[in-house]
């Protein structure tokens, strides 16, 4: 039943040979990897306005200059990552660049920052998408956490179906969003052409810029830098593109940067020109669209496409997080299960883990975008800075043709993003950025602990200096509570693998034990039955103690505990029987020189 449900939800398994066919074109690649960056258009300008609102409406005059500074920063970062895509066509992004050029600590720092950023991307984009829905339908506001959780589950299932299928599924909403926002910008330009001297929402002109504290301007700039989140995703997933991978990824990166710059600057300009101010219960984009189109079908189209792209922006993380986790797992910094592809040629374990953590985060922050945003940009700008610094080191070390130009591009990128990182960490520290700053070293510690474990396991399993020591004795113990067909079959199997076989029973009921003795003499007279007393009615502990006595018969005595188990015909029938065998397996797993195995006896319907 579970297998059929899995096939219904996820589809039939894909052969490994089909992996190349599952790769992305530029068009679908833009939908998969750029939805996060493009979706930030829906809330980045609003975050700038929210920060400036603390100084009053006059401070909104700074909206456009701050937006322009962020636009220039976007150009710098995108150009830097264009260099990275060509230098590291195998992907891995900031983690690989920092690890190879700056050392293990820098690499793990970049990886930790990126993993936190991917998780926050899901939470923020879903929360913002739900906010767009509740702006249009206020009655759904009390259900925002449930709506957000449901959206995460749907996107998670879509990604579990495979990269190409998720790309096809998300391509239409992505391009619908681009088209609707271009329509919004065009409509806004037309309206301003006719009413350029009047503020539309709210209906009052903005006052001239007054003296605004510099720290507030920095905070507004830091908030607006959320527009750059997701820019690194294409560099992290170069191998998801069709050959030539680097060229296709680089072109897609240019497309994404150009579209993002156009939409972000356009929305920022309209917000400033129309005098839009942040309002509880309605987003800035909704106010602009309402001012341009009124509550017409075009307005609802903009809102619907905004909600869709915000919800689907989480898809970027579902594409990037599992890939990064698989690279870390291959380097033995994360559990190796994360390096394994599932039935649909995606890293299923990473997808499921990301989905579960995102639902938990959304529930903790009540799907509040403004509460999540302060945590958001620290990780991404930390990874930006390490990636660009690593590229500078690579250019200086290799000195290949064009290295001077590379040093300038990546050097400017590292310096700029480093400065922004400092501003964000400083201005948002008390608002929640301290959580990310604390989490990064915690994750690094976990990475190192996991790798240390794997190295220890490798040394323990190594054949170097190994001396094979054969067992000096072997006994098979067969725990029984009675005698039936399954027990007789198990005894025959035990005698086939070893001449020293003992049956062991724990006496909890003297009358039942005497009946067992009588039947034993009839059905298994050639196998000795050892009866263990249990004054405290425990079954597992007396068997464990007797096992230790048997192992003490010689220095390297081996004991096989052979468990007769009957398997009911229906899964629910397991609930009607004691699970003593499972308890024995759990306890004896940690006992040295002990082998535990089962002999199943299958019951019919």
Shared-domain flag, residues 488 and 401 = no
Residue owning tokens 């950025």? 433
Residues 372 and 491 in one domain: no
Average confidence (pLDDT) over 370-379: 74
> Do both 444 and 555 map to the same domain?
no
The yes-or-no verdict on residue 259 having pLDDT over 50 is yes
Cβ atoms within 10 Å, residue 7 = 12
Residues 151 and 101 grouped into a single domain: yes
Give a yes or no: residue 323 inside a domain.
yes
Q: Say if CB 122 and CB 344 are below 8 A apart.
A: no
- DSSP assignment of 132-190, as one string? HHHHH-GGGGGGHHHHHHHHHHHHHHHHHT-HHHHHHHHHHHHHHHHHHHHHHHHHHHH
Q: Are strands 557-567 and 594-602 parallel, antiparallel or unpaired?
A: parallel
Give the whole-angstrom CA distance, residue 254 versus residue 82: 8
Would you state the pLDDT for residue 166? 64
Cα distance between residue 86 and residue 258, in whole Å:
19
* Of the residues 426, 454, 482, the one at which a domain ends: 454
pLDDT per residue as tens digits for the range 576-589: 666 788 888 888 88
Instruction: Answer positive or negative: Cα dihedral of 342, 346, 347, 349.
Output: negative
461 lies in some domain: no
Least confident of 67-81, 228-242, 507-521: 228-242
The four Cα atoms 159, 161, 163, 168 give a dihedral, to 10 degrees, of -90
Count of structural domains within the chain: 2
pLDDT tens for 166-196 read: 667 778 888 999 999 999 999 999 998 876 5
Whole-prediction pTM: 0.76
pLDDT, mean over the chain:
85
Packing angle, helices 348-364 and 314-330, rounded to 10: 130
Classify residue 463: in a domain, yes or no.
no
Tokens of 243: 């050959």
- Banded pLDDT at 10 (limits 50, 70, 90): low
Same domain, 429 and 527: no
Note down the domain range covering 217: 2-454
Residue with the two structure tokens 């040295």: 592
State the Cα–Cα distance between residues 405 and 298, nearest whole angstrom: 46
Among the candidates 387, 419, 454, a domain finishes at 454
pLDDT score for 199: 45
The whole-number average pLDDT for the span 369-378 is 73
Structural tokens at position 4: 């059929």
Closest alpha carbon to 223 in 122, 416, 41, 374: 374
Res 2: pLDDT: 54
* Tokens matching residue 232: 């690194």
- pLDDT score for 352: 93
Convert 490-514 to b/e letters by CB count within 10 Å (16 or more is b).
Answer: bbebbbeeeebbbbbbbeeeeeeee
pLDDT band at 558 (very low <50, low <70, confident <90, very high): very high
| Phi–psi pair at 23, nearest 5 degrees | -70, 165
CA dihedral 233, 239, 241, 243 (to 10 degrees): 150
User: 196: Cβ–Cβ under 8 A, 6 or more apart, which residues?
Assistant: 273
Q: Say if residues 85 and 93 touch (Cβ distance below 8 Å).
A: no
Q: Which tens digit of pLDDT belongs to each residue from 95-108?
A: 888 999 999 999 99
Contacts with 79 (C-beta within 8 Å, 6 or more apart), sequence order: 409, 413
Tell me the C-alpha distance between 138 and 299, whole Å.
16
**Same domain for 235 and 103?**
yes
**Does residue 509 share a domain with residue 434?**
no
- Let me know if 4 is exposed, middle or buried by CB neighbors in 10 A (0-12, 13-18, 19+): exposed
CB-side neighbour CA atoms (13 Å) of 526? 7
Residues 383 and 345 in one domain: yes
Pair 16, 257: CB distance under 8 Å: no
CB neighbours (10 Å) of residue 578?
A: 9
Per the model's pLDDT, the better-predicted residue between 464 and 85 turns out to be: 85
pLDDT tens-digit series, residues 123-134: 887 887 788 788
Lowest mean pLDDT among 40-44, 193-197, 371-375: 193-197
Q: How far apart are CA 431 and CA 446, in angstroms?
A: 26
CB 184 within 8 A of CB 273: no
Nearest residue to 299 (alpha-carbon basis) of 130, 136, 139: 136
Q: Residue 9: which H helix or E strand, with range?
A: helix 2-10
Does 420 share its domain with 498? no
How many angstroms separate the CA atoms of 605 and 600, rounded?
16
Which two three-digit tokens encode residue 388?
């660009």
3-state secondary structure of 565: strand
Other beta carbons within 10 angstroms of residue 542's beta carbon come to 20
CB 251 within 8 A of CB 81: no
Among the listed residues 257, 284, 254, 258, the one whose alpha carbon sits nearest the alpha carbon of residue 272? 284
Instruction: Give the DSSP H/E element, type plus range, for residue 446.
Output: helix 434-461
Element (H, E) at 513: helix 510-523
Percent of the chain with pLDDT over 70: 90
**Residue 288 or residue 164, greater confidence:** 288
pLDDT value, residue 84: 86
pLDDT band at 8 (very low <50, low <70, confident <90, very high): low
Report if residue 468 sits inside a domain.
no
- How confident is the model over 553-576, as a mean pLDDT? 83
Query: Does one domain contain both 414 and 511?
Result: no
Would you say residue 331 has pLDDT above 60?
yes
Distance CA 597, CA 497 (A): 12
Flag whether pLDDT at 601 surpasses 80: yes
Closest-CA residue to 83 (of 387, 419, 418): 387
Per the domain annotation, does 582 fall within a domain?
yes
The CATH number for 500's domain is 3.40.50.620
Specify whether 273 is located in the same domain as 338.
yes
CATH code for the domain of 349: 1.20.1740.10
The 10 Å Cβ neighbour count of residue 1 is 6
CB 19, CB 345: distance < 8 Å: yes
Which helix (DSSP H) or strand (DSSP E) does residue 532 occupy? Answer: strand 529-533
Task: Kindly state whether residues 491 and 447 are assigned to the same domain.
Answer: no
* pLDDT classification of 15: cutoffs 50, 70, 90: low
Last residue of a domain, which of 425, 454, 483?
454
- Name every residue whose Cβ is closer than 8 Å to that of residue 404 and which is 6 or more positions away in sequence: none
Could you tell me where the DSSP H helices lie in 34-162? 35-39, 44-52, 63-87, 93-102, 104-136, 144-160
pLDDT recorded at residue 207: 43
467 assigned to some structural domain: no
Query: What pLDDT sits at residue 208?
Result: 41
Cβ(320)–Cβ(234) below 8 Å: no
- Asked if 571 and 536 count as a contact pair (C-beta separation under 8 A), the reply is no
Whether residue 573 is contained in a domain is answered as yes
Structure confidence at residue 105 (pLDDT) = 94
Is residue 594, in this structure, part of any structural domain at all? yes
Write out pLDDT tens, residues 400-457. 888 888 898 888 888 888 888 888 788 777 777 788 888 999 999 999 999 999 999 8
């Amino acid at each position: 039943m579970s297998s059929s449900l899995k096939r219904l939800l996820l589809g039939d398994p894909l052969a490994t040979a089909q992996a190349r066919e599952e790769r992305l074109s530029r068009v679908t690649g833009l939908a998969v990897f750029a939805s996060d960056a493009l979706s930030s258009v829906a809330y980045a300008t609003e975050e700038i306005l929210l920060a400036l609102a603390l100084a009053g409406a006059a401070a909104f005059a700074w909206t456009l200059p701050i937006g322009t500074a962020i636009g220039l920063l976007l150009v710098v970062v995108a150009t830097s990552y264009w260099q990275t895509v060509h230098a590291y066509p195998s992907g891995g992004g900031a983690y690989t660049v920092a690890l190879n050029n700056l050392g293990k600590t820098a690499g793990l720092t970049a990886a930790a920052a990126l993993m936190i950023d991917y998780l926050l991307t899901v939470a923020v984009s879903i929360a913002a998408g739900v906010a767009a829905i509740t702006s249009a339908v206020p009655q759904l506001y009390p259900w925002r956490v449930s709506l957000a959780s449901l959206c995460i589950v749907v996107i998670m299932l879509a990604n579990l179906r495979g990269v190409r299928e998720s790309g096809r599924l998300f391509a239409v909403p992505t391009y619908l969003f681009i088209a609707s926002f271009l329509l919004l910008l065009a409509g806004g330009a037309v309206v301003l052409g006719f009413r350029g001297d009047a503020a539309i929402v709210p209906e009052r002109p903005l006052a001239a810029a007054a003296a605004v504290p510099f720290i507030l301007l920095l905070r507004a700039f830091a908030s607006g830098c959320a527009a750059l989140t997701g820019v690194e995703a294409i560099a992290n997933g170069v191998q998801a593109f069709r050959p030539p991978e680097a060229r296709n990824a680089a072109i897609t990166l240019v497309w994404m940067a150009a579209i993002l710059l156009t939409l972000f600057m356009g929305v920022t300009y309209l917000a400033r020109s129309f005098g839009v101010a942040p309002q509880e219960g309605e987003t800035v984009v909704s106010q602009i669209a309402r001012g341009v189109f009124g509550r017409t079908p075009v307005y609802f189209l903009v809102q619907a496409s905004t909600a869709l792209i915000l919800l689907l922006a989480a898809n970027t993380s579902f594409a990037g997080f599992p890939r990064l986790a698989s690279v870390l797992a291959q380097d033995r910094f994360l559990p190796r299960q994360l390096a394994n592809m599932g039935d649909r040629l995606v890293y299923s374990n990473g997808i499921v883990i990301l989905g579960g953590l995102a639902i938990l985060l959304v529930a903790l922050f009540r799907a509040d975008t403004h509460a999540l945003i302060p945590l958001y940009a620290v990780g991404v700008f930390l990874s930006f800075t390490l990636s660009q610094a690593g590229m500078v080191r690579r250019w200086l070390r290799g000195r290949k043709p064009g290295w001077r130009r590379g040093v300038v591009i990546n050097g400017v990128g590292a310096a700029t993003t480093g400065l922004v990182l400092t501003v964000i960490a400083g201005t948002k520290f008390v608002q929640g950025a301290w959580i990310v700053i604390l989490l990064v070293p915690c994750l690094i510690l976990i990475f190192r602990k996991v790798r240390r474990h794997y190295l220890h396991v490798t040394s323990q399993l190594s054949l170097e200096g190994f001396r094979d020591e054969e067992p000096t004795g072997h006994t098979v113990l067969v725990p029984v509570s009675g005698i039936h067909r399954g027990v007789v079959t198990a005894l025959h199997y035990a005698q086939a693998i070893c001449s020293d076989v003992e049956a062991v029973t724990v006496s909890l009921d003297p009358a039942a034990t005497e009946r067992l003795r009588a039947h034993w003499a009839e059905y298994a007279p050639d196998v000795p039955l050892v009866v263990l007393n249990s004054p405290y009615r425990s079954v597992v502990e007396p068997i464990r103690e007797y096992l230790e006595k048997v192992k003490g018969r010689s220095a390297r005595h081996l004991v096989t505990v052979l468990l007769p188990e009957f398997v009911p015909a229906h899964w629910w029938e397991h609930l009607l029987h004691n699970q003593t065998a499972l308890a024995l397996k759990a306890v004896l797993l940690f006992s040295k020189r002990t082998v535990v195995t089962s002999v199943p006896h299958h019951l019919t319907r």
